[in-house]
Amino acid sequence: MNHIADHLRDVFFNKKTGRLVYRRGNILKYFFFQKGAIIQVKTNQPDERLGEILYKLDRIPKEAHANMESYIEPNKNLGEVLRSRGVISEDDLAEALAHQIRESILNVFPYFDAEIDFQEHEGYDGEVGESQTSVPLLIEYGIRRMQADQRLQAFLARRTPVPGRKAYAYLLTADEKDILEKVNGTDMAEIILRTLTIPPDQFWKSLYLFYCLDVVVFEAKAEETRHESETAKPPGGEPRGDIPPQVAAVLALRDTLPSMTFYQILDLPRTASDEDVKKAYFQMARRFHPDRFERKLVADYKDHIDVVFDAITNAYRTLSNKEARRIYDVKSGSASIQEDVQDAFHKAEIKFRQGKTLHGQGRMDEAIAYLEEAVRVRKDKGDYYLLLAMAESKIPAYVKKAEQDFLKAIQLEPWNPEGFVGLGLLYKAEGLQTKAIRQFEKALEADPDHFTALEALEELTGSAKKKGIRGPFGIKLFGSKKRKK
C-alpha cells in the first residue's frame, strides 16, 4: 500500500526535511517539508495553483485573475510578486498558501496507487515561509473524509498495535477512544476487530488514523517486520524481529529523544501546571520504569530502557522545579511563554473568523479545516466548538464528531441554548427522538423563548410554537426572531 497519510506520518514524526514527490497518472505534485512541517507545495493541477486559490478566496479582483500571466517574473514566486505589487497583502498570501497546501494534499487522500517518494534536503532557510498548516490535522481530516479501501485491511490486519504517544489523541471521537482502549499490545488487529460490534470498514479506518497520528505503533511480526525492528540488536546479540511490545515502545521513544524537548518527552504543553507535570511523569513511569519490565527483557535491553527512563526522569526533575524550569525555558527560547500564548490565541481567533466566513458561504469542508485549527489552540472556547459542530453536522461522515463537539460546547457554555439546540437537531435527524427531546428541553431551561427548541418540541411532543432568534455569532442559526410577549 502506498498512501499519502502514511508518508505524512513518517515525515512529520521523524522531523524530516526535503520534498515528497507525488505522481499519479498526469498528476505531479511536490510537497516541501522543513523538520516535519509542511511549508510549500508545487502542483500541475490548475485548480490548485496559487492564482486560482486567491481568486476562489476573493483575494484578487477578476481583472488580476484574467491577466495572471503578467505577474509571472523569472526566478520569483507568484505570491511574492503579487504582494510586492500591492495586489494582495501579507495575510492574503499566507492564507492562500495554507489553503493551497490543504487542497493539494486532501485531494490525493482517496488514492492508494500513486508513486510517492521522499527526497532528503539539507534545508530551505530563506527560500520558503513558516508553516501555518498542521500535518496531524491534515491527516485526521483526510482519513475521515476518504472512503474505506480493502487495502487498509490488508495493510493492518496481521499487525499488532501497541499504544503510542497521546499528543494527538484529542483528535479522536468518543467511539474511536473506545476502540483505542481495546489496544493492549498483545492482540493482532484482526483479533481486536472480533471483540467489537462496529462495521469492519469503520474499524480499519479508525486504526489507520491511530497509526498515522502515532497514537499506536505496530509490533513487528515475522512476516511483517518493520525496518527499525529488524535492525535493533540486544546487547551482545543478533538482530531480531520478535521484539516485545514494551521494548518496541522503548526503542521508538529512544530514537526520537534527541529531537524532543522536555515538554514533548512528557507529552505536555509548555503551559502545563505543576499537577499536570506530576501526572504525566507517573503515567510515563508506569510504562517505562525498569521495574515494569521482565527481568530477561531488562537484561537484554538494559541500556535502551535506562536511556529512556533517565530522559523521562530528567524532564520531570527540571519541569517540576520552578527555578529549574524557568532556566530551561530561557535557554530553550521559551522565556516569553505568555507572549507566545497570546500570539497563538490571536491566530486561533483569525482561524475562527475564517471558518465562520466559510460556514456562512456553505463551504463546510473548508470551514471545518479552519475551525479544527482554532479549537486545537483554544480548547476553552465554547463558541469555537459550537460552530465546528454545526459545520460537522452537515457532513454525514462527521456526525459522531459533531455530537462530541456539541457536548464539548455545552460543557464549556452550559448557559448557551444553542449547543443544546444543535445537538437536539442532530439527534432528531438521526431518529433519536428521546435524546432530541431532552436536549430541546434543556435549551428551553436556558431560554424559554427559543423558537427552534419550541418548534421542535411541538413537532415531537405537541408543545406551543414561537418564532426564533439569532445565534451567538450574529448569524442565523435555528430561527428568525423571538416571539413578542
Question: Where do the structural domains in the chain lie, given as residue ranges?
Answer: 4-134, 147-219, 230-335, 339-461
pLDDT above 90: percentage of residues in the chain: 25
Residue 255: closest CA among 293, 307, 302: 307
Identify the band that residue 124 occupies on the pLDDT scale cut at 50, 70 and 90: low
Do the domains at 230-335 and 339-461 have one common CATH topology? no
CA 338 to each of CA 212, 276, 319, 334: distance values in angstroms, whole numbers, following the listed order: 32, 18, 17, 9
Average pLDDT over residues 351-360: 88
Domain 230-335 has CATH 1.10.287.110: yes
Q: What is the dihedral of CA 244, 245, 249, 251, to 10 degrees?
A: 20
Identify the band that residue 227 occupies on the pLDDT scale cut at 50, 70 and 90: very low
Cβ–Cβ < 8 Å for 5, 139? yes
Identify the band that residue 244 occupies on the pLDDT scale cut at 50, 70 and 90: low
Average pLDDT over residues 220-243: 41
Residue 266: closest CA among 209, 299, 314, 222: 314
Identify the band that residue 131 occupies on the pLDDT scale cut at 50, 70 and 90: low
Identify the band that residue 230 occupies on the pLDDT scale cut at 50, 70 and 90: very low
Query: Among positive and negative, which fits the CA dihedral 321, 326, 329, 331?
Result: negative
**Report for 220-229, 269-278, 374-383, 416-425: range of highest mean pLDDT:** 416-425
pLDDT tens figures, 176-202: 888 999 998 888 999 999 998 888 999
**What is the structure's pLDDT at 33?**
92
| Largest Cα span, the chain | 85
**What is the structure's pLDDT at 337?**
45
Confirm whether pTM is higher than 0.85: no
**What is the structure's pLDDT at 233?**
44
**What is the structure's pLDDT at 213?**
93
Identify the band that residue 132 occupies on the pLDDT scale cut at 50, 70 and 90: low
CATH superfamily of this structure's domain 339-461: Tetratricopeptide repeat domain (1.25.40.10)
Distance (Å, rounded) from C-alpha 101 to C-alpha 138? 9
